[in-house]
Amino acid sequence: MKYDTPVATNPIDQLKIVGRATDRIEGPLKTTGTAPYAYEWHDVVPNPAYGFVVGSAIAKGRIASIDLTAAKAAPGVRAIVTADSAGKLDKGNFNTAHLLGGPTIEHYHQAVALVVADTFEQARAAAALVRIDYTRDKGAFDLAAAKDTAPLAPGGGFNGDPETKVGDFVGAFASAPVTLDATYTTPDHGHAMMEPHASTALWEGDKLTIYTSNQMIAWSRGDVAKTLGLKKDQVRIVSPYVGGGFGGKLFVRADAILAALGAKAVGRPVKVALTRPMMFNNTTHRPATIQRIRIGATKDGTITAIGHESWSGDLPNGSPETAVGQTRLLYAGANRMTAMRLAVLDLPEGNAMRAPGEAPGLMALEIAMDEMAEKLGMDPVDFRIKNDTQVDPEKPTRPFSQRQFAKCLELGADKFGWNKRKAKPATVRDGRWLVGLGMAAAIRNHIPFKSAARVRLERDGRLTVETDMTDIGTGSYTIIAQTAAETMGVPLDRVDVRLGDSDFPVACGSGGQFGAANSTSGVYAACVKLREAVAQKLGFNTTDCTFAGGKVRAGNRSVPLTDASKDGPLTGEDAIEFGDLDKKYQQSTFAGHFVEAAVDAATGEIRVRRMLAVCAAGRILNPKAARSQVIGAMTMGLGAALMEELAVDKRFGFFVNHDLAGYEVPVHADVPHQEVIFLDEEDSIASPMKAKGVGELGLCGVGAAVANAVYNATGVRVRDYPVTLDKYLDNLPPTA
């Protein structure tokens, strides 16, 4: 199905099933422990062996020698895979470093060996007996030290242009009556998802099946094939349930490749799961940023100049954290400049983490907007609304497909009681607590992405939907079932959804907030094909008939849907393919985040008391699942604001706090009352579902809203995340 003209009405608009708050259909499987995750395919993978990964003890250099004698002699050991024994391995298109290192070492905890044994405990014990001598090279591990010599980042693809210029930023900033020039920093972040990176590999002749935890099946199938020197049709990837990914499972990681190599070496299935410390340093993370923001405005608050520069680091041939992207779109301003610079660092690979770009970028931009509002003597909400725009500020001939940005802020301010905020910081007390209100704006783009599905009408009238789309805990099973049920006119419980298998049609996958709108559009396209086949079978004109209540109707004629499949199943398969609407219209989602924070006047302890998000994200396909996505994202933003930070050992190049004891994330006691409001809107330019993504939007801006609330409570401005005691305790207002 080509989608190059905005749709008027279609079967989804009935909203009998789509758009309704619906329980997750796979919920019972997960709550009873019967949903098979990557390490748990016991019924289809008999008698597996277990692999344990040995990670490099240095960050950069070479393996001088490796002694496997003691490890091979350990009980239960069946094989040890190293770069020497693995044969020639390529590097996947989506990998920055090789997934099996040696003799060259590219980062700390890069996998250098896999010990395979009869039990996990035997493999782990034997791995401790592997003796490796290294020759260490000097590495670069400090972004601040590398900042001044960092060149412009590579452009293209998801990175966008490394530099943009509109008008005369330098001149406009220099002549602006009111200016701000400030630098902000965000640290390295870890995904810290619940389910570890894990894979179970099985060879049948020259055919490889990997049961793994992965967000993007087609990408990963291609990279497994490329890495191992196989054809794509020799590789099957199966990942129907993913226990959290956040971008960390977008790409093939060492567990999958080593499980395949280990299984080949021992001639039986092999399971590999990365330990928690290995996850932090072996896989990807969100890179740290240094961001300089300059804003110039007239005294009435009109922005005349806005500039945003960002520095981040990655391994050679890596990619930047695209922290300036939202600044290109969010606020008006005739004179503009953005730039992304990328330093080469020898830390583990930096890559996508939930809302890459906007999440750290808005942590800086939205503090800067508050600081500018204060200089102007304006309310932060009013300042943002004054500089709203309905067109792409860099390309004014390109309007937004839909932009209810101001309404998000206005409604949020009203519902949150923003009018009670005191503009002067540190003036509101509740006993020993200093209390403040903060807010921030959010934007996250919608990305049209080709997505395919197959829908089959079975003999008994049930629908079976097959697509390699994944469910990473976001509710894909449910919204896909809702789409098929709505389009084909059957009850939700008559739909069976099968996901996460490379044998199925290629979908968009889960990432970039593009999964929901695109995957359901692909299912809708397949259902339209199936409707055509049903109508033809029953002798209807496709354009005249309706599908409802398990029947097909046209005029006075009504036929049970099952009549079409009584001679055998009927199948519809298609993909949604988008034209150039995204070039004609900027497609984005928007939100306003509001936070109340209390700070203990004596100890400096911060307690966030309540949070509100008002979101404009097109049609909300399942309000219950969408709310869960947003409050989860808000919680992640709370963590980024107050506690999350990977501590870099700048001598040896690794993340020191590589477990959940040292890398702090919010727990139940940290999470306050959260409220989410979705604006009633439909975006027919974005997709036939008139929907866009929402999950990552819930994170964008939250960190700044928390930081701004802490400032309003205390009068102490912290520009370096996370906002921890050491950065403000000495400057708190005196206690009474």
Q: What is the pLDDT of residues 232-278, one digit of tens each?
A: 999 999 999 999 999 999 999 999 999 999 999 999 999 999 999 99
84 plus 209 within the same structural domain: yes
Q: What does the H/E/C string look like for 249-260? A: CCCCCHHHHHHH
Task: Report residue 208 as tokens.
Answer: 């490889």
* Domain end marker among 538, 559, 578: 578
Count of CB atoms situated within 10 Å of the CB of 91: 15
pLDDT in tens, 57-66: 999 999 999 9
461 plus 419 within the same structural domain: no
The number of angstroms, rounded, from the C-alpha of 230 to the middle of its chain's C-alpha atoms is 29
pLDDT in tens, 633-683: 999 999 999 999 999 999 999 999 999 999 999 999 999 999 999 999 999
pLDDT in tens, 364-396: 999 999 999 999 999 999 999 999 999 999 999
568 plus 589 within the same structural domain: no
Is 291 within a domain?
no
525 plus 638 within the same structural domain: no
Is 552 within a domain?
yes
Q: What is the DSSP letter of 394?
A: T
Per the prediction, the chain carries an average pLDDT of 97
CA distance 600 to 714: 10
* Domain end marker among 544, 578, 612: 578
687 plus 711 within the same structural domain: yes
Task: Report residue 574 as tokens.
Answer: 């298609």
Count of CB atoms situated within 10 Å of the CB of 567: 9
Is 405 within a domain?
yes
Is 151 within a domain?
no
Is 113 within a domain?
yes
Looking at the predicted structure, is the pLDDT value of residue 299 above 80? Answer: yes
Q: What percent of the chain has pLDDT over 70?
A: 100
Q: What percent of the chain has pLDDT over 90?
A: 98
pLDDT in tens, 472-529: 999 999 999 999 999 999 999 999 999 999 999 999 999 999 999 999 999 999 999 9
Q: What is the DSSP letter of 226?
A: H
Residue 159: per-residue pLDDT: 87
Is 294 within a domain?
no
Residue 8: per-residue pLDDT: 86
CA distance 75 to 50: 13
* Domain end marker among 517, 545, 578: 578
719 plus 638 within the same structural domain: yes
518 plus 550 within the same structural domain: yes
Looking at the predicted structure, is the pLDDT value of residue 153 above 80? Answer: yes
Overall domain count for the chain = 3
Strands annotated E in 557-671: 557-560, 570-578, 588-600, 606-616, 648-649, 654-655
Looking at the predicted structure, is the pLDDT value of residue 347 above 90? Answer: yes
Looking at the predicted structure, is the pLDDT value of residue 157 above 90? Answer: no
Is pTM beyond 0.75 here?
yes
Q: Give every CB contact of residue 563 below 8 A, 6+ residues apart in sequence.
A: 538
The one catalytic residue in 106, 195, 573, 696 is 696
DSSP H or E run through 486:
helix 476-488
What residues make up the domain containing 457?
2-35+449-578
Pinpoint the alpha helices (H) of 267-299.
276-282
Task: Report residue 309 as tokens.
Answer: 């520069």
Looking at the predicted structure, is the pLDDT value of residue 599 above 70? Answer: yes
Over residues 346-355, mean pLDDT: 97
Is 174 within a domain?
no
475 plus 569 within the same structural domain: yes
702 plus 616 within the same structural domain: yes
Residue 158: per-residue pLDDT: 84
CA distance 434 to 600: 6
Residue with tokens 């049970």: 560
269 plus 121 within the same structural domain: yes
Looking at the predicted structure, is the pLDDT value of residue 542 above 90? Answer: no
Residue 7: per-residue pLDDT: 84
424 plus 503 within the same structural domain: no
Residue 736: per-residue pLDDT: 62
The CATH number that applies at residue 100 is 3.30.365.10
Active site residue 644: no
28 plus 64 within the same structural domain: no
Is 334 within a domain?
no
